[in-house]
Structure 1
Amino acid sequence: MRWLLVDKILEIDPGKKALGVRCFSRSELFFMDHFPGYPIVPGVLQIEMIAQVGGKCIMAANPGYLPVLTSVKSAQFRRAIEPGDSALIHAEVTLRKSYSLANGWIEVDGKKVSSAEVMYGLVPIPETKPKFGLEYGTITGEGI
């Protein structure tokens, strides 16, 4: 299972703020067990939604770095997110030299349902190298 918890980035101001959206269908696997008879989005996934939107905002300002979640400074859950809900995910980012912060919140139907402050370490993204040590464009096709 892939944990991509943002359907679309609606707005982005690189390194400052971003807005994403996620629509939850009844068929989400976690609704089967969380909780039987009362399906809600787990809090840890709500934190991850905020972290993913904040991470996209950071990457837009620092394309050579991968923001890696290092801590959750605070999180609050006020209301449940249920099947059929469309969640707007807000993140306001503060960039530092070796780390970044995001303050985020999630809204459903105009009401704040959760919030979190998260911290990221910034890891340089290595340049990709061609497989098997071959440089692209150096093979002529002869002898293959």
Structure 2
Amino acid sequence: MLNVEQIQQIIPHRPPFLLIDRILELEPGKRAVGLKNVTMNEPHFVGHFPGFPVMPGVLILEALAQVGATAILAVEANKGKIGLFAGVDEFRWRGQVVPGDTLTLEVEIVRLKGPVGKGQATAKVGDKVVAEGQLMFALTDPSKD
């Protein structure tokens, strides 16, 4: 299990845009399972939506991407690189996420060819799938660009 400090040693995201609290399972280069505790203190709830707080779907998508990035960037050869979104396929939101929920985020890397890959992503609250689909990414090395 990785805590926030350990996650930040792997991926470049920082608060307020670091959207995962823990990594529960990690197989570098293959898969990761993360956790996001959703709280009313998050700034997006001020406007999304007043009196009816719902976590924006794009932030659920981003949290999944950060879990996937943890899996890919935990590989020693990828240390210091950044994973950029290259696409999203067959993605569906299937339920609302509200303050007090705990999101379990799982990404399995299903394809990796050079710096480009694809992950199968699933977000759950308890046993209920709230979002799922495929995330495409491209690795870049900012020190060489």
TM-score, structure 2 normalization: 0.81
Mapped to 2, the partners of 1:32 and 1:2 lie a distance apart of: 15
Shift of residue 66, structure 1, vs aligned partner: 2.1
Letter in structure 1 aligned against 2:37: C
Correspondence 1:107 to 2:124? yes
Structure with max Cα Rg: 1
| 2:134 pairs with one of 113, 117, 131 | 117
Q: Which runs of 5+ in 2 are unaligned?
A: 1-14
Structure 1 counterpart of 2:82: 66
CA distance, structure 2, for counterparts of residue 47 and residue 77 of structure 1: 9
Identity %: 34
Within the candidate set 94, 101, 104, 1:88 is matched to 104
Q: Distance in 2 between matches of 1:83 and 1:33?
A: 14
Superposed displacement of residue 124, structure 1: 2.3
Q: Distance in 2 between matches of 1:27 and 1:125?
A: 32
Runs of 4+ in 1 over 6 A off after TM superposition: none
Alignment size in residue pairs: 127
Q: What letter corresponds to residue 140 of structure 2 in structure 1? A: V
Shift of 1:125: 4.6
Query: Structure 1 regions of 5+ residues with no counterpart?
Result: 128-144
Report deviation, 1:102. Answer: 1.2
